[in-house]
Structure 1
Amino acid sequence: MKNKLIVYVSFIAIFLFLTISVSSIFAQSGGESLKLDKLIDEALNNNPELKAAWERANAYHERPPQVSSLDDPRITLGFSNLPVDDFDFNKQDMTQKVISLSQEVPLPGILSLKKESATQEANAMEKRAKELESILVKKVKKAYYNLYFINKAIDITEANQELLEKFVEITKTKYSVGRGIQQDVLKAQVELSKMEEKIIDLEQKKSTIKAELNTLLNRSQEELLPEPPNIKKTTFTYNIETLQTLAEETRPALKDVAHLIKSREAAYQLAKKDYLPSLTFTASYGQRDNRLRSRPVRATVTPVGGVPDEVTVLSNADRDRPDFFSFMVGFKVPLWFHSKQSRKVKENLRLISEAKARHEALKNGIFFGIKDILEKERRGSKLIELYRNEIIPQAKASLDSAMAAYEVGNVDFITLLDNQLTLFNYRLSYHQVLADYEKDLAELEAVVGKRLF
């Protein structure tokens, strides 16, 4: 009689435990919790890969002023026509010290095209950084929802473990009074051990996900993170046409390629101008020394002890030499245009075609991604409601019925255990579907290129 009372009380405890645990599936947790918005903000501010992308984009924005400026002028110093017999600078009239200033001046439109090409390339790099922002937000959200599911899986598995421990006690009690078989005891113990194995596996996955989050946030791998709260299914109101329009307007990757097309179109126009010669202006100044020359003059000469006498002697006199100024215009002749300039034009035409094809392929991929995720959203939404309103309540009712039948001996322990494991798996599936649903929406945001939720 005493053993029967123990079995009866155990079943009552199990029933109450199931009622509380199933109703807690949809309850909200309290206390400090992990906030998704704060995680996203921290990742956007601290992620080193994103910082590198923005630094690269900012570096590219320094290029347009460089390429749109004239080349540095060239100053040349030297001398010309210096006689090699005595290296005398004032011996020959054409000997001069020369300073030259040269400046290459491109034809009108070339510098503006260089600036346009560099500006569009810098804009493309900026959109590439924005694309990385979208990818980073998606990664943070997916890690967050993975952590949510793992936490729920651990909670549900631990609750199921407690229930199986009670089942083990019941089977042992029934076996001890001759109302059960040893196989039931062993089966319950095996399932209990499998729950322990599952918890070990889940704890390892939880540690990995937290390390992933810390990496995205640029934190230490071992830094502690609070647990995410229970989540609610996000309300979804978008249709495919709206999402496709949004993607065309906002997806950074599409804008990246669009700017690249404009950059290559400017490069194509620039390549065509290479057929024309660029001009080089050179101004030179040649400084010449004044030349000394001899001329006869009358002078009085008095020999020692003699009589003064007037004689003719040679005297040196300066002769002014005017300096020289020269001005020249030079230009490059595109003599090898067939193998150089023409090839450059064709190269840029092909690069434009490649970029346009890539833009079209990317757009098609985006539209397919939107369609695919919308189908997943519809499926996920239906499954969430199905698990919440039908499958889990029905599985709970089936388990309650099996417990009542097992108590009076109408079903065997295997049937009872099977019903319990079925409920356990459905509860896991519910939270998996909910987490997958939210991850699909995070993927949709990345495909569209805009925060939607």
Structure 2
Amino acid sequence: MKLNWIAALGLLVALSGCKTVHQPFFTSDQTAAASLALKVDEKKERTKPMNRQAIQQVAFQQDVSSSNDSTRDSTYDAEPVVTPDAQPFVGVTSLAQLEQVALANNPAVFEIQADIESLRGKLTQAGLPPNPTAGIVGSDINEDGESFGRYGVYFGREVVRGNKLGYSRAAVCAEIKTAEQRLAVIQQRLLTDVRQRYYDLLVAQETVTIADQLFKISQNAVDVSQRLLDAKEAAQTSVLQAEIEMQNASVVKRQAENQRLAARRKLAGLLGESELSLGHVDGNVRELLVIADFEQSFDQVVNKSPEIAALFADVEQKRRQLQREIVEPIPNVTWQASLQHDFLTDDLIPGFQIGMPIPIWNRNQGSIHQTRYQIVAAERRADKKVLDLRQRLASAYESYLDAKLQVDAFDSEIIPKAKETLDLVNKGYREGEIGFLQLLTAQRTYSQINLTYLQQLKQLWRQHVEIEGLLLSGSLE
């Protein structure tokens, strides 16, 4: 009798642990219905979607086989995200070094990396089958006041049909790809921010240099005025005016130093450093680069933008989710086997039952309809983003051209002539041929021209970096 019990229990345990073999779940009619469910009723659409073929290749260039087999990449083998060690500021002076430190230290990057890692856990969970069930069963207990009735054990399991687990994993894989594109977006935003702050700091450093030169010019004017006063060739008012101009130049110099300090702090903040430990950065702010014309720039932005890639990754994720919703009505099978011992007759009584829900009223039609039009909405968001990028590029390109026109004019004509004028006025003033009022006018003109030039140079670099950065900035927003 004990051997019979042991054999029966062993058989039930083996049955409960058997691997489920997924049988084909679509008949030809069901396959046709599934294909129709993936299509949107074009008659109900009032707008025609834009051509997105070239952009989709950017978003899924590493997953070109997904269109042929929706569950092919359900075993997602990407390596876990490794959080890099924080990088120190010591010796960091070039733009490339600043970018490397920012990517290694900025919390916005860590946030998206953590989201991706959490989705890997979701991917693992999505492919796990339901656990088997086991328990004790009893019946006819003390029915006649003397019998112990029947006692035994049961084992059961839910068999998932329709390859639901595979489709669930495929949907999460697409969700991971979307998150990876979001990571690319935040990395590009961060790089654009770092480059803009870097050139802001270069301009601020250049402003301090020019302000210091102007201060020295005003000091020299005071010395010259004092010598002319001593020689009784100028009035006391000339010295006072020169000293006032020197004080004004001193204020401009201190303001420039404050701007440099603020630019340094803003850049240090992007690098993930709370204390200011960033010194002088290397670079030539006057070494201008030329960008392509508007249409070429637009093609580059659209074809390389991780924003567009993320939106189409979201479209793909919803398409895979629709496939998962389509197979949801295919009922899972639940079976249960039991073995009881009748203490009255000393018999072993095996039992078995199997069941499944009957999809009569609920065939998941509501979720299928909802997901289908979520796909339409996601596609329209991608179309809208393309139009939005063109609008944003138009504004950025206009600002770039305006700033470039002014910078070119300053470089080729205005600054050289202003410098030549100031040199001639200084020479004439030292020789007593030109009055002090003309000297002050020339100094103010030269100062204002240089400060305006630097502001236009700053604006030019900001627009240049934004266009080259695919119009992505604001990593901490």
Question: What is the one-letter code of the residue matched to 2:157?
Answer: S
Distance 1:427 1:389 in 2: 13
Choose the corresponding residue for 2:154, options 90, 99, 112.
99
Return 407-416 or 135-144, whichever deviates more: 407-416
The question of 1:75 aligning with 2:144 is answered no
The equivalent of 2:463 in structure 1 is 440
The equivalent of 2:238 in structure 1 is 184
| 1:73–1:103 Cα contact (<8 Å) kept | yes
Question: What is the one-letter code of the residue matched to 1:133?
Answer: Q
The question of 1:143 aligning with 2:143 is answered no
| 2:224–2:430 Cα contact (<8 Å) kept | no
Larger radius of gyration, structure 1 or 2?
1
Pairing of 1:362-381 with structure 2 (within 5 A): 362-381=385-404
| 2:158–2:334 Cα contact (<8 Å) kept | yes
Equivalent position SS for 1:72: coil
Distance 1:134 1:237 in 2: 18
* Percentage of matched positions with identical amino acids: 18
The equivalent of 1:387 in structure 2 is 410
Choose the corresponding residue for 2:420, options 379, 382, 397.
397
Distance 2:134 2:325 in 1: 29
Distance 1:100 1:146 in 2: 70
Q: 1:60: how far off?
A: 1.6
Choose the corresponding residue for 1:129, options 176, 183, 188.
183
| 2:304–2:470 Cα contact (<8 Å) kept | no
Distance 1:423 1:396 in 2: 7
Pair 1:347–1:195, CA change in 2 (3 A): farther
CA RMSD of aligned residues (A): 2.8
Distance 2:277 2:424 in 1: 47
Distance 1:332 1:73 in 2: 22
Residue-by-residue CA offset, 1:96-127 (whole Å, 9 max, x unaligned)? 32313121423x24333322221111101000
Return 110-119 or 247-256, whichever deviates more: 110-119
Residue-by-residue CA offset, 1:323-355 (whole Å, 9 max, x unaligned)? 222121122646466xxx444334323422332
Q: 1:435: how far off?
A: 3.4
| 1:288–1:323 Cα contact (<8 Å) kept | yes
The equivalent of 2:300 in structure 1 is 246
Q: 1:448: how far off?
A: 6.3
The equivalent of 1:302 in structure 2 is none
The equivalent of 1:223 in structure 2 is 277
Question: What is the one-letter code of the residue matched to 1:57?
Answer: I
| 1:277–1:332 Cα contact (<8 Å) kept | no
The equivalent of 1:256 in structure 2 is 310
Q: 1:38: how far off?
A: 1.4
Pairing of 1:291-370 with structure 2 (within 5 A): 291=344, 319-331=345-357, 333=359, 335=361, 341-370=364-393
Distance 1:88 1:188 in 2: 120
Distance 1:229 1:322 in 2: 88
| 1:268–1:345 Cα contact (<8 Å) kept | yes
Choose the corresponding residue for 1:202, options 253, 256, 274.
256
Distance 2:119 2:449 in 1: 53
Residue-by-residue CA offset, 1:27-56 (whole Å, 9 max, x unaligned)? xxxxx9821111112222332321221232
Residue-by-residue CA offset, 1:288-343 (whole Å, 9 max, x unaligned)? 1442xxxxxxxxxxxxxxxxxxxxxxxxxxx4413222121122646466xxx444
Which structure 1 segments of 5+ residues have no match? Answer: 1-31, 292-318
Q: 1:232: how far off?
A: 4.2
Greater share of residues in strand: 1
Q: 1:446: how far off?
A: 2.0
Equivalent position SS for 2:335: strand
- TM-score, structure 2 length as denominator? 0.72
Residue-by-residue CA offset, 1:218-239 (whole Å, 9 max, x unaligned)? 3352324233333343432523
| 2:211–2:256 Cα contact (<8 Å) kept | no
The question of 1:284 aligning with 2:337 is answered yes
Distance 1:60 1:258 in 2: 18
Q: 1:134: how far off?
A: 0.6
Equivalent position SS for 1:233: coil
Residue-by-residue CA offset, 1:339-390 (whole Å, 9 max, x unaligned)? xx44433432342233222212221222233333333443333333321221
Choose the corresponding residue for 1:46, options 80, 99, 105.
105
| 1:102–1:283 Cα contact (<8 Å) kept | yes
Equivalent position SS for 1:218: coil
Residue-by-residue CA offset, 1:158-202 (whole Å, 9 max, x unaligned)? 111111112123333434555434443333222222222223222
Distance 2:144 2:242 in 1: 115
